[in-house]
Amino acid sequence: MTIETPRAAPTIEQVAAVAGVSRSTVSRVVNGSTAVSPAALAAVRDAIAALNYVPNRAARSLASRATMAIALVVPEDTTRFFGDPFFASIVSGINARLSRSDYVLNLIIASDHPRDKTTAYMRSGAVDGAIVVSHHTSDTFIERIAQAVPVVYGGRPVREREGDYYVDVDNVAGGRAATQYLLDKGHRRIATVAGPFSMPAGIDRLAGFRAALAAAGLEPVGVEDGDFTVAGGAAAMQRLLDAVGADGFDALFVASDLMARGVLATLGRVGARVPDDVAVIGFDDSPVAVTGSPLLTTVRQPSHDQGEQMADVLLALLAGGTPPHVTMLPTALIVRDSA
């Protein structure tokens, strides 16, 4: 009877030797870093396949004290998180990038009550880094998290500091483009349902709206803020109607598609026709924009791409790289039936 001695598992050093690269280059490829040349990437992948190399995640974690986990921190309640298509798109993008690495994603929905618990968990060494989206001026606990682990923000941080890393969409340009479109269509009595004044996205979209009007020598006929929800948009629209009346405006820029649906519902209840009596433009180009009637003219923001880019920046930081501190993604106006 012949007894075969089990073959030793191939090592990362053997992969490096076959690929003709350094051990650190193999490590970067295994961890999903983009700081590798295409030629080296191909050589390492070929060597991994030839040797049937399987990375020893447990050993790497013990040696480096890395958890191989990244947290997505969302300072919102569960209703808002699961009800807004924006978050689904962001998570999809983050997951798409992490699927090409050895990291796993932990989702933390940090509503009002468990924020101390969230902070303690993040500072305990349970994760290697964090991505934070949908943060408000009141979310000071994020700063304590950033003292413990590398953080990449989705959108401009509320209190931006030197050294922060964030991936944003050009909300100012988006708000300006939407308003300019309304101006070019001949509208002059333009109001807005803005996003929350506690969030940079709401502030920046309102700034773009005001800038376009100012360039045309106009002032907004009304400004009401909502909370990026259908109910918030409906309530803000009612306040605007109470303030200036249904004849006080001929166009509306609404800072999210969800709020725009609430606006449309309120306008419908008072008999205002869209776009005949009032034009409406949303923001996001989410699935909500093409659900119901009329189809929404809106500003497209690349949420999936934003998620991928945030994960990419954080992975680069964790690999010891030097990614850009600020990544700005473009928006685009999508014209449909509502304006």
Kindly list the structural domains of the chain, giving each domain's residue range(s) and its CATH number in brackets, ordered by start.
12-55 (no CATH), 69-170+303-330 (3.40.50.2300), 171-300 (3.40.50.2300)
Q: How far apart are CA 267 and CA 290, in angstroms?
A: 18
Question: What pLDDT is recorded for position 220?
Answer: 95
What is the amino acid identity at position 132? V
Closest CA to 158 of 130, 195, 200, 119: 200
167 vs 134, residue with greater confidence: 167
Q: 96: part of which helix (H) or strand (E)?
A: helix 85-98
Task: Give the Cβ contact number of residue 189 at 10 Å.
Answer: 15
Q: How far apart are CA 181 and CA 55, in angstroms?
A: 53
Residue 93: exposed, middle, or buried by beta-carbon count in 10 A (0-12, 13-18, 19+)? buried
Helices first, then strands: H and E counts in the chain: 13, 12
Cα 56 to chain center, whole Å? 32
Q: What is the 3-state secondary structure (H, E, C) of 7-68?
A: CCCCCHHHHHHHHCCCHHHHHHHHCCCCCCCHHHHHHHHHHHHHHCCCCCHHHHHHHHCCCC
pLDDT over threshold 90, residue 9: no
Question: What pLDDT is recorded for position 127?
Answer: 85
pTM, full prediction: 0.76
Collapsing DSSP states into helix, strand and coil, what is residue 242?
A: helix
- In percent, the amount of the chain with pLDDT more than 70 equals 90
How does residue 2 score in pLDDT terms, banded at 50, 70 and 90?
Answer: very low
Q: What is the mean pLDDT of the chain?
A: 86
Q: What is the 3-state secondary structure (H, E, C) of 216-240?
A: CCCCCCEEEECCCCHHHHHHHHHHH
Q: How far apart are CA 286 and CA 259, in angstroms?
A: 12
261-273 tens-digit pLDDT: 999 999 999 999 9
Question: What pLDDT is recorded for position 114?
Answer: 55
Is there a contact between 127 and 149 (Cβ–Cβ < 8 Å)?
Answer: yes
pLDDT over threshold 70, residue 63: no
Q: Find where tokens 């014209």 sit.
A: 335
Measured on CA atoms in the order 86, 89, 95, 96, is the torsion positive or negative? negative
Closest CA to 286 of 320, 309, 255: 255
pLDDT over threshold 80, residue 74: yes
Q: How far apart are CA 84 and CA 207, in angstroms?
A: 23
